[in-house]
Amino acid sequence: MAMLELNDVHAYYGNIHALKGISIDVSEGEIVTLIGANGAGKTTTLKTISGLLRPRQGEVSFEGEELTEFPAHEIVYKGIAMVPEGRGIFSKLTVVENLEMGAYSRSDKDGISSDLDRVFTLFPRLQERRRQVAGTLSGGEQQMLATARALMARPRLLLMDEPSMGLAPVLVESVFETIQEIKDEGTTILLVEQNAHMALQVADRGYVLQTGEIVLKDSAQGLRDNAEVQKAYLGMQ
């Protein structure tokens, strides 16, 4: 059984039919990526999984449990955390206060302390900035903080929405190295990313979305080798 399963999910924004019956699955220990143009439904898929948007039809299940009736905060308790598009940090709080907010669902003080050590090991720059107000961090540092904050919930499944957006090219590679490290430490990842080339370098499998529908699914290597994917998303002729 897959860790995460979406079966025939339809989601709407008002009268706009944003997801048109998508079905995807993510197994424990994988990185699975969703690629597609702006407006294809990638972020909507993550919002539907995380409880920020309720589907009108279809099922979302995590470790065998149906999620669609649970509010977003309860889905965090169940083991799913999200790194939102645009980072969404608490700009007036310090780095440490942001990280503590990430652990709001937990009461194990010793575990929280050890996870602070873990994310500071993963992101040494954040340790250097731990008392700094988050809104004064650079874009790359804010992305580190958004990811570290999600990890403080100790998720079994991490949803990542455009983690390289707006970053200088020199930082993008670092972001994807970190994604690989997070996977190697045992966290399953569902990754939405405009940079399809980098996403397919770290992913095990992928899905291609177009206007709310899955039009292609394959191994990451299979998608890299696909002529249509190369032309549409990898900048190859």
* pLDDT of the residue at 188: 97
How many folded domains does the chain comprise? 2
85 found inside a domain: no
State which H helix or E strand residue 162 sits in.
Answer: none
Same domain? 72 vs 167:
yes
22-52 pLDDT tens trace: 999 999 999 999 999 989 999 999 999 999 9
Please give the pLDDT value at position 85: 84
31/130 same-domain check: no
Residues 142 and 208 in one domain: no
Chosen domain end from 130, 154, 178: 154
Strand partners, 25: 5
pLDDT of residue 237: 57
Domain membership flag for residue 221: yes
Give yes or no for residue 206 having a pLDDT over 80.
yes
Whether residues 147 and 167 share a domain: the answer is no
Residues 167 and 72 in one domain: yes
Residues 150 and 56 reside in one and the same domain:
no
Average pLDDT over residues 14-18: 96
* Whole-number pLDDT of residue 175: 87
| 12 token code pair | 């709407």
The HSE-up count of residue 43 (CA atoms within 13 Å, CB side) is 12
Return the CATH number at 25.
3.40.50.300
pLDDT at 174: 85
> What's the mean per-residue pLDDT of the chain?
93
Per the structure, the complete domain to which residue 101 belongs is given by: 91-154
* Same-domain pairing of 69 and 174: yes
Residues 6+ apart with CB under 8 A from 200: 33, 35, 206, 220, 223, 224, 234
Cβ pair 191, 30 in contact under 8 A:
no
Name the domain boundary from 103, 124, 154. 154
The first and second tokens of residue 29, run together, are 């220990």
User: Sign of torsion, CA 113 182 30 212?
Assistant: positive
Q: Are residues 166 and 52 in the same domain?
A: yes
Percent of the chain that is helix, strand, coil (3-state, to 5): 40, 25, 35
Give a yes or no: residue 84 inside a domain. no
Q: For residue 28, is it within any domain?
A: yes
Render pLDDT for 132-174 as a digit per residue (tens, 0 to 9).
999 999 888 898 899 999 999 999 999 999 988 888 888 888 8
Q: Angle at CA 109, nearest 5°, toward 107 and 113?
A: 130
Residue 231: Cβ within 10 Å count: 11
Closest by CA position to 205, among listed 51, 1, 29, 40 = 29
